[in-house]
């Protein structure tokens, strides 16, 4: 395992994961939440895997549940720019029985920590469909903030949806990990919002 948390770990993809990717990315329930609409064929996925090491701007991981060591999804940093110290985050939990269990949030935390601490990024951004309420809530809990909205940019299930742009700065990420001060603890007992 390359990065390890309490409940999930992140490891580089291997050729044996291609079968999982094909199953996940050809499932309409999963596709509903990612930026892909057409089915994925084996040749396309084989080519993607073969060229992955030639693309330093993409860093992809398989999300593995600690219990049982089962691959449950994929995440990565894309369009990594050393010049701008930025990247775009993508994540999918492909095994639907693992949805709504906090695995995605922990995987994102590991990925963001790696991006900010090891890759020296200053900003990590992401795009999310406005109907993905569960995803938006997860991103906010990690510390991402709404930065903008692309109106009617996604056509799905017979209608147009907005795409939300969210971002997290390294300074915000670090501030969210500092121990709570006594003042913040008092705020939380008075109903203030804290992370």
pLDDT tens, residue by residue, 28-66: 999 899 888 888 899 999 999 999 989 999 999 999 999
> Which strand ranges, in their side-by-side order, compose the sheet holding 3-4?
3-4, 8-11, 59-65, 70-81, 86-93, 123-129, 159-169, 145-156
Q: What is the pLDDT of residues 84-103, one digit of tens each?
A: 999 999 999 999 999 999 99
- What is the predicted pLDDT for the residue at 184? 39
- DSSP label of 181: P
Determine contact, residues 107/99, Cβ cutoff 8 Å: no
Alpha-carbon distance of 136 to 130, in angstroms, equals: 8
Alpha-carbon distance of 49 to 62, in angstroms, equals: 13
| pTM score of the predicted model | 0.87
Going from the C-alpha of 28 to that of each of 20, 37, 40, 120, 133, the distances in angstroms are 15, 8, 11, 36, 18
List, in order of start, the domains of the chain with CATH numbers: 3-189 (3.40.630.30)
Q: What is the pLDDT of residues 146-173, one digit of tens each?
A: 999 999 999 999 999 999 999 999 999 9
Average pLDDT (160-187) is: 76
Following CA atoms 101, 103, 109, 115 in sequence, which dihedral angle do they give, to the nearest 10 degrees? Answer: -150
pLDDT over threshold 70, residue 182: no
Sign of CA dihedral 160, 135, 108, 51: negative
Average pLDDT (133-146) is: 96
* Strand 145-156 to 159-169 pairing: antiparallel
Alpha-carbon distance of 114 to 146, in angstroms, equals: 22
Confidence band, pLDDT 50/70/90 cuts, at residue 189:
very low
Using DSSP's 3-state secondary structure scheme, residue 59 falls into strand
């Amino acid at each position: 395992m390359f990065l390890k948390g309490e409940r999930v770990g992140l490891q580089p993809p291997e050729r044996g994961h291609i079968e999982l990717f094909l199953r996940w990315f050809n499932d309409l329930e999963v596709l509903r939440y990612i930026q892909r609409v057409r089915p994925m064929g084996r040749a396309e996925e084989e080519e993607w895997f073969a060229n992955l090491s030639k693309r330093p701007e993409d860093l992809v991981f398989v999300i593995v549940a600690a219990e049982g060591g089962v691959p449950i999804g994929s995440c990565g940093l894309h369009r990594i720019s050393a010049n701008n110290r930025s990247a775009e985050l993508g994540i999918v939990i492909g095994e639907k029985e693992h949805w709504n269990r906090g695995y995605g949030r922990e995987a994102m935390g590991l990925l963001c920590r790696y991006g900010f601490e090891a890759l020296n990024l200053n900003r990590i951004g992401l795009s999310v469909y406005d109907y993905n309420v569960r995803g938006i809530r997860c991103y906010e809990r990690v510390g991402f903030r709404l930065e903008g909205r692309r109106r009617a940019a996604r056509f799905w299930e017979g209608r147009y949806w907005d795409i939300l742009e969210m971002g997290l700065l390294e300074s915000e990420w670090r501030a969210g990990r500092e121990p709570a001060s006594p003042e913040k603890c008092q705020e939380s007992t008075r109903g203030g919002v804290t992370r």
